[in-house]
Amino acid sequence: MLISERDGIFILETENTHYVMGVNCEGELNHLHWGKKCPVEDYFCTYKPWERSSNHSARDFGKTEYLSYGGAVYRPVALTCTYADRCRETMLTYKDFNISEQDGAFLLEIILEDKPYRLEASLFYRLREGTDIIERWSVIRNCSDSTVVLGKIASGEFNFPSKRPYTSTNFNGTWLAEFRKEETVVKNGSLVYESRKGGSDHTVSPFFVLSQNADERQGDVFFGALAWSGNFKVEVSRDCVGVTRAVIGINDFDFSYNLHPTEEFVTPSVYCGYVQGYGKMSNLMNDYAVEYILPRSFAKEPLPVLYNSWEATWFNVNSLGQQKLAEIAAELGVELFVMDDGWFGKRKDDHAGLGDWYVNRLKFPRGLKPLIDKVTKLGMKFGLWFEPEMVNPDSDLYRSHPEWTYHYDTRTPTRMRDQLVLNLTREDVQEFVFSCMDDMLNEYDISYIKWDMNRSYSETGAENLENPQELWYRHTKAVYEIADRLKEKHPGLQIECCASGGGRADLGALSHFDMVWTSDDTDPIDRLQIQDGFSLIYPTKSMRAWVTDTNRGSRPNDWDFRFNVTMQGSLSIGGNLLKYDKRELKIHKDYIALYKRIRNTVQFGALHRLANFAKDSIYANEYVYGNQCVLFLCTDVTSFFNDKFYHIKLAGLEEDAVYKFEHEGKELTLSGAYLMNVGLDYEMGGTLESKIVIFEKVQ
Ligand code: GLA
């Protein structure tokens, strides 16, 4: 049993940690411990809240599991609501608990209530054997006869043990530069990471990572990642007595929700844990996502090598052109051929056509059949691009249903990429969006959808709703439901989540989509940093990466470099194959074959980030899975005089095992202990050099 309760003290025991809560004499649920195990469980006890002064209330200083706004509270809270009698305060106290076992997982439900209003808040904690991840979420239940308006409904509140300031890591990215890691020391006040754009956005990501003296291998790291792709808010704060807390959940910005009698609101889950070192966190989350988060149908299958025509043809797709690309792609070993934007309606650029999801007969006079037949005959699967939540004003859809967009009659709609957002809170729009993809899947042999979303919302009028402020939540839910429905109806279907690159790449998306498009930036040098950031908390296999023709004049890099970067995710090809000479095609073919040899290791293995540009002027990433270990080395732009020898010590091998590999043209066999504790010198001739080394365990 991983969960126990005695006299109001709840102990959650994961593989290496304890998470402890207790009900105090006032009936509040206190947070008592999160970190290494404490073997003498009897020592845990709650404390009586005490008031420091008339300016600092007991309630404000407590370590609570789920603080609601009510009484003398002035810090970020998890729950706010307004009752029918216009009372705007919520006071939650302990009511009951349940411990159960479900599909091999242990579940704790702690029920809190606001008695006079018969509002319940159930806090759920799910634990699974063999991992340090706890899944946490909350359910707000209206057991009264009147509607309650919820204002803020976080998934959880977290308290951290040390009074010294924590370092908070998140991103400061943008379109074409997602997942750029930034660290901030939280000494006072609040640090807020949020999205108000509708999707989870390119800039920050829905998680907290709080650490002390941490690097890849050591130091305290507390983290929690929210499975939500809509507006979110992560508030990290440190109070005047040094207690650091985080509240994480759906954003309360322009949000409220009418909870009618007998209804409940289920928040998205947060996957949280405490570990030593960032490397451990990344690997725990990677394994957990593969095991429990990614859609089951393909979670444990390696993803296929994909070709996407976008950077080769842009909007100029047509049947013959695509068939020519498909012939070459198949020859190279590509397994899935994806046609991107441009195949539908009157689409010739980004000013028209979104919403008209029927085949453009000028480009495909006999529909998509000849192309798809060709692709499948060549032994590949076929995939197609959609941007189902959007409409161009220049489209038949908009002309017949202008009321289907979010809008206010008095405002001019803001056009971004010349498109508007469909009001996905309407059932008729949901049905339309589902059937535009479903119809194509019924008519054609399509195994893959790239679901794109290229703009943030604005003028978010949704007058169809009793409470229009629910739209942010309902829209994201509708996206998930449509993706789930499509997958259920078409079991072989894989769906990639794209939002102008990595604008909706989070654990919410990854609970419903099989993978994400990480960034529209396919420059391998930029990619190294994008991929490094992504790998912090998101699973490697879900990261689509393309080898393309992008090669900036000022920082030229060769095909080896591009492949050695891209093979660290789910390898895809995205260049104009028609332009390549024999030598280039052979390079592609050889690397695709090589990738197939190592892809299980990359997609499912443990990642060891051994060195990076910022500190070492080289990226050294190692993946270990079963009997194989793959090391990628990529140097930065370095000066002529810079060190050409990089000393690399591997990690995660078996000390006593012997590994065979090639080193500087010679075949070597060395023990894991040697490779990890002594290490090897790699000569890299300076700027933008790369290498891949494969180690096979031989005994
Ligand atoms: C977005 C995507 C790209 C591509 C284009 C098509 O920018 O991120 O990969 O699909 O749209 O318009």
Atom number, ligand 1, closest to the C-alpha of residue 340 = 10
SS3 451: strand
At position 392, the amino acid (one-letter code) is N
Confidence of residue 43 (pLDDT cuts 50, 70, 90): confident
Atom number, ligand 1, closest to the C-alpha of residue 499 = 8
Residue 41 pLDDT exceeds 80: no
> How many Cα atoms within 13 Å fall on the side-chain side of residue 341?
21
489 in Cβ contact with 510 (< 8 Å)? no
How many A from CA of 500 to the centre of ligand 1?
6
Atom number, ligand 1, closest to the C-alpha of residue 350 = 12
SS3 12: strand
Residue 599 pLDDT exceeds 80: yes
SS3 391: strand
Query: Could you give the CA distance from residue 423 to residue 391 in angstroms, rounded to a whole number?
Result: 10
Sign of the alpha-carbon dihedral angle for 193, 199, 201, 206: positive
| Whole-number pLDDT of residue 38 | 87
89 in Cβ contact with 116 (< 8 Å)? no
Ligand 1 site-directed mutation target among 315, 316, 340, most atoms within 8 Å of CB: 340
692 in Cβ contact with 631 (< 8 Å)? yes
| Whole-number pLDDT of residue 641 | 63
Mean pLDDT confidence for 156-180: 97
| Whole-number pLDDT of residue 534 | 98
How many A from CA of 572 to the centre of ligand 1?
15
Residue 554 pLDDT exceeds 60: no
600 in Cβ contact with 626 (< 8 Å)? yes
What Rg do the C-alpha atoms of the chain give, in angstroms?
26
Q: Is 183 exposed, middle or buried (0-12, 13-18, 19+ CB in 10 A)?
A: exposed
Identify the residue whose C-alpha is closest to ligand 1 atom 8.
Answer: 500
Cα 346 from chain centre: 33
SS3 604: helix
| Whole-number pLDDT of residue 643 | 63
**C-alpha to C-alpha distances, 160 to 33, 176, 579, nearest whole angstrom:** 8, 34, 56
How many A from CA of 311 to the centre of ligand 1?
9
Mean pLDDT confidence for 192-207: 98
Query: Could you give the CA distance from residue 358 to residue 387 in angstroms, rounded to a whole number?
Result: 13
Query: Could you give the CA distance from residue 337 to residue 332 in angstroms, rounded to a whole number?
Result: 12
Sign of the alpha-carbon dihedral angle for 608, 494, 350, 407: negative
Structure-token pair, residue 677: 């504790």
Tokens 């066999």 correspond to: 669
SS3 77: coil
Identify the residue whose C-alpha is closest to ligand 1 atom 2.
Answer: 500
The share of the chain scoring above pLDDT 70, in percent, equals: 98
> How many Cα atoms within 13 Å fall on the side-chain side of residue 245?
25
Closest by alpha carbon to 245, among 255, 235, 254? 235
Atom number, ligand 1, closest to the C-alpha of residue 520 = 8
Facing residues of 621 across strands? 609, 632
Facing residues of 390 across strands? 421
Residue 545 pLDDT exceeds 60: yes
Summarised one tens digit per residue, pLDDT across range 643-652 is 678 999 999 9
How many A from CA of 454 to the centre of ligand 1?
7
SS3 155: strand
Question: Which of 53-57, 194-198, 331-335 has the least mean pLDDT?
Answer: 53-57
How many A from CA of 533 to the centre of ligand 1?
21
Residue 675 pLDDT exceeds 70: yes
Mean pLDDT confidence for 56-69: 94
| Whole-number pLDDT of residue 568 | 98
Residues 6+ apart with CB under 8 A from 410: none
How many A from CA of 493 to the centre of ligand 1?
20
Query: Could you give the CA distance from residue 687 to residue 561 in angstroms, rounded to a whole number?
Result: 11
Summarised one tens digit per residue, pLDDT across range 493-524 is 999 999 999 999 999 999 999 999 999 999 99
80 in Cβ contact with 252 (< 8 Å)? yes
Structure-token pair, residue 92: 């939650």
30 in Cβ contact with 43 (< 8 Å)? no
Summarised one tens digit per residue, pLDDT across range 244-300 is 999 999 999 999 999 999 999 999 999 999 999 999 999 999 999 999 999 999 999
- Which of 394, 520, 526, 636 is labelled catalytic? 520
Ligand 1 site-directed mutation target among 175, 307, 385, most atoms within 8 Å of CB: 385
Summarised one tens digit per residue, pLDDT across range 562-596 is 999 999 999 999 999 999 999 999 999 999 999 99
Summarised one tens digit per residue, pLDDT across range 531-540 is 999 999 999 9
Q: Please give the mean pLDDT across all residues of the chain.
A: 96
Summarised one tens digit per residue, pLDDT across range 627-643 is 999 999 999 877 666 66
Query: Could you give the CA distance from residue 472 to residue 506 in angstroms, rounded to a whole number?
Result: 16
Query: Could you give the CA distance from residue 87 to residue 117 in angstroms, rounded to a whole number?
Result: 10
Summarised one tens digit per residue, pLDDT across range 448-504 is 999 999 999 999 999 999 999 999 999 999 999 999 999 999 999 999 999 999 999
Ligand 1 site-directed mutation target among 315, 341, 384, most atoms within 8 Å of CB: 341
Facing residues of 666 across strands? 663
Structure-token pair, residue 83: 């009752």
The share of the chain scoring above pLDDT 90, in percent, equals: 92
Q: How many CB atoms lie within 10 A of CB 657?
A: 15
Beta strand segments in 498-585, E: 515-517, 543-547, 570-573
How many A from CA of 202 to the centre of ligand 1?
14
208 in Cβ contact with 158 (< 8 Å)? yes
Distance in angstroms between the alpha carbons of the first and the last residue of the chain: 37
Q: How many CB atoms lie within 10 A of CB 212?
A: 16
How many A from CA of 296 to the centre of ligand 1?
26
Which stretch of DSSP H or E encloses residue 336? strand 336-339
Q: What are phi and psi of 370, to 5 degrees?
A: -55, -40
184 in Cβ contact with 237 (< 8 Å)? no
Closest by alpha carbon to 650, among 621, 626, 625? 621
Identify the residue whose C-alpha is closest to ligand 1 atom 12.
Answer: 341
Query: Could you give the CA distance from residue 28 to residue 92 in angstroms, rounded to a whole number?
Result: 7
- Which of 114, 201, 452, 521 is labelled catalytic? 452
Residue 553 pLDDT exceeds 60: no
Confidence of residue 51 (pLDDT cuts 50, 70, 90): confident
Residues 6+ apart with CB under 8 A from 13: 2, 3, 4, 37, 127
Concerning whether 85 is annotated as a catalytic residue, the answer is no
Q: Which residues have C-beta atoms less than 6 Å from ligand 1?
A: 310, 340-341, 385, 452, 454, 498, 500-501, 517, 520
Beta strand segments in 392-538, E: 420-421, 448-451, 494-497, 515-517
Structure-token pair, residue 169: 């890591």
- Find the Cα–Cα–Cα–Cα dihedral 209, 214, 220, 221, rounded to 10°: 20
| Whole-number pLDDT of residue 48 | 81
Concerning whether 201 is annotated as a catalytic residue, the answer is no
Query: Could you give the CA distance from residue 629 to residue 540 in angstroms, rounded to a whole number?
Result: 15
| Whole-number pLDDT of residue 639 | 63
Length of the chain: 699
Ligand 1 site-directed mutation target among 347, 351, 451, 520, most atoms within 8 Å of CB: 520
